[in-house]
């Protein structure tokens, strides 16, 4: 589908509502969009292309926009195949088209598609004039591949951002944020960030420093809606995520075999709620995909994780979660733990080691339950822990 989003700047993209897993890993129950952009200037420009599977529909719409003209430039901000799979077909259709990218882009262009001719290598803050419009390039490596960059159109103050600032979710008619209900895209942008970008938080901050006080009127990412009214909110969200600044609230995650650990999770959640805290999310790690759990963890300042002891270790899904948290270098959390065991109370040391390793603030006491055994002290320990948790939620700077 296509739509003019600014004078002579066109959205040109496709929706995917049939793929179950993005990157064969992350659930996308509401689909995903693949966005590229066409600029109808004295020289014609395409920013990003499309996955190979969509080429036939894509080329038909591109030709409609070109109205018989040639395609002069293809700018690649990110060469991952979901955005570049159509390049070889585009080159056959438009053999004189120049492919624009930085050195690492062109290296990967050769690796993926064996294309080495009619390319234009650009460097940091170099510009390309196409008539009315001037494009300026910011090289932003590891957002989230080594070649990623931003393309900024100077006159319209439009930032073409690659995968940065993208969102899961197909577009439902509206393309620009004010044309659609953005509530779902807000949460799906956060889930997209934590699954795709969060490991490179330091590089996000580097990118912000590079663009500095450059005025941005519109953000055009490769997935999700075009950001216009919410540009400030989107920048603020990425800044918060990448600096590990959290909203006030609690994420509770558990792994339970026979229900006792799940009961502990619900007891803790109930007691926290009775103290007036409303922002509480509880996840069963065996049923909730890890991407939704991680999205909640980066959002809220308190994390509580519980596990049954399994083969003298944590439940496998909880171990997987802990590894994912460490891999993404999620920082500045208050952390509490609880566990249930039958014959080996091994979870406490594992949780303590995890908190120390990642640098989270551990809240005591740790709640430990043996099978379904009654313990007259446990309720007072839960009360004590929950009072600390409520205090941390209420004292969070945000």
- The three-state DSSP-derived secondary structure of the chain is CEEEEECCEEEEEEEECCCCEECCCEECCCCEEEEEEEEECCCEEEECCCCHHHHHHHHHHHHHHHCCCCCCEEECCCCCHHHHCCHHHHHHHCCCCEEEECHHHHHHHHHHHCCCCCEEECCCCCEEECCCCEEEEEECCCCCCCCCEEEEECCCCEEEEECCCCCCECCCCCCEHHHCCCHHHHHHHHHHHHHHHHHHHHHHHHHHHHHCCCCCCEEEECCCCEECCCHHHHHHHHHHHHCCCCEEEEEEEEECCCCHHHHHHHHHHHHHHHCCCCCEEEEECCCCCHHHHHHHHHHEEEEEEEEEEECCEECHHHHHHHHHHHHCCCCCCEEEEEEEECCCCCHHHHHHHHHHHHCCEECCCCEEEECCCCCCCHHHHHHHHHHHHHHHHHHCCC
Nearest to 46 by CA among 28, 32, 31, 59: 59
Report d(CA 295, CA 58) in Å as an integer: 32
CA 270 to chain centroid, in Å, comes to 30
Termini Cα distance of the chain: 40
Place of tokens 């959390």: 333
- As to burial, measured by CB atoms within 10 angstroms (0-12 exposed, 13-18 middle, 19+ buried), residue 135 is buried
pTM for the whole thing?
Answer: 0.95
Instruction: Report the alpha-carbon distance of residue 166 to residue 177 in Å, rounded.
Output: 12
Classify strands 26-27 and 73-75 as parallel, antiparallel or unpaired. Answer: unpaired
Q: Under a CB-based contact definition with an 8 Å cutoff, are residues 113 and 88 in contact?
A: yes
CA distance 270 to 267: 5
In terms of Cα–Cα distance, which of 321, 336, 340 is closest to 272? 336
Residues in the chain: 398
pLDDT digits (tens, 9 = 90+) for 117-130: 999 999 998 999 99
pLDDT in tens, 42-78: 999 999 999 999 999 999 999 999 999 999 999 999 9
Q: Which residue in the block uniquely carries the two structure tokens 């409303």?
A: 278
| Token pair listed for 352 | 């303590």
**Cis status of the peptide bond prior to 365, with omega within 30 of 0:** yes
Q: How far is CA 145 from the centre of its chain?
A: 14
Domains of the chain: 2-242 (3.60.15.10), 248-393 (3.40.50.360)
The pLDDT tens digits along the chain (398 residues) read 999 999 999 999 999 999 999 999 999 999 999 999 999 999 999 999 999 999 999 999 999 999 999 999 999 999 999 999 999 999 999 999 999 999 999 999 999 999 999 999 999 989 999 999 999 999 999 999 999 999 999 999 999 999 999 999 999 999 999 999 999 899 999 999 999 999 999 999 999 999 999 999 999 999 999 999 999 999 999 999 999 999 999 999 999 998 999 999 999 999 999 999 999 999 999 999 999 999 999 999 999 999 998 887 899 999 999 999 999 999 999 999 998 876 767 788 899 999 999 999 999 998 887 777 667 788 899 999 999 999 999 998 77
Query: Distance (Å, rounded) from C-alpha 54 to C-alpha 56?
Result: 6
| pLDDT single digits (tens) 301-314 | 999 999 998 887 89
75 and 83 in contact (C-beta within 8 Å)? Answer: no
Token reading at 103: 């050195």
What distance in Å separates the CA atoms of residue 150 and residue 135, rounded to the nearest whole number? 10
* Inter-residue contact 385 to 364 (CB < 8 Å): yes
């Amino acid at each position: 589908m296509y739509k003019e989003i600014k004078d002579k700047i066109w959205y040109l993209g496709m929706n995917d509502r049939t793929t179950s897993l993005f990157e064969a890993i992350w659930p996308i129950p509401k689909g995903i969009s693949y966005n590229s952009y066409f600029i109808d200037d004295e020289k014609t420009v395409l920013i990003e292309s499309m996955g190979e599977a969509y080429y036939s529909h894509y080329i038909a719409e591109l030709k409609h926009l070109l109205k018989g003209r040639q395609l002069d430039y293809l700018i690649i901000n990110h060469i991952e195949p979901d955005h570049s799979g159509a390049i070889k077909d585009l080159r056959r259709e438009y053999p004189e088209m120049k492919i624009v990218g930085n050195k690492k882009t062109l290296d990967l262009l050769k690796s993926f598609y064996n294309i080495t001719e009619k390319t234009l290598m650009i460097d940091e803050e170099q510009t390309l004039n196409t008539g009315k419009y001037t494009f300026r390039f910011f090289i932003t490596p590891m957002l989230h591949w080594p070649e990623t960059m931003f393309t900024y159109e100077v006159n319209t103050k439009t930032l073409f951002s690659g995968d940065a600032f993208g969102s899961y979710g197909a577009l439902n008619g509206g393309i620009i944020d004010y044309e659609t209900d953005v509530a779902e895209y807000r949460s799906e942008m956060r889930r997209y960030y934590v699954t795709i970008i969060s490991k490179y938080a330091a590089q996000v901050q580097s990118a912000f420093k590079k663009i500095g006080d450059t005025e941005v009127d519109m953000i055009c990412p490769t997935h999700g809606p075009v950001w216009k009214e919410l540009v400030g909110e989107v920048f603020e969200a990425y800044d918060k995520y990448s600096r590990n600044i959290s909203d006030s609230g609690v994420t509770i995650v558990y792994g339970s075999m026979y229900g006792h650990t799940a009961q502990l999770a619900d007891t803790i959640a109930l007691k926290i709620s009775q103290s007036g805290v409303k922002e509480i999310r509880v996840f069963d790690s065996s049923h909730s995909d890890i991407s939704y759990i991680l999205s909640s963890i980066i959002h809220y300042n308190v994390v509580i994780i519980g596990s049954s002891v399994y083969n003298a270790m944590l439940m496998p899904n909880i171990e997987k979660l802990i590894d994912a948290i460490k891999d993404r270098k999620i920082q500045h959390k208050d952390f509490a733990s609880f566990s249930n065991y039958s014959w080996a109370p091994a979870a406490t040391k594992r949780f303590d080691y995890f908190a120390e390793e990642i640098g989270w603030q551990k809240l005591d006491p740790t709640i430990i339950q043996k099978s379904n055994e009654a313990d007259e002290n446990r309720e007072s320990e839960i009360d004590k822990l929950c009072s600390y948790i409520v205090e941390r939620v209420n004292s969070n700077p945000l």
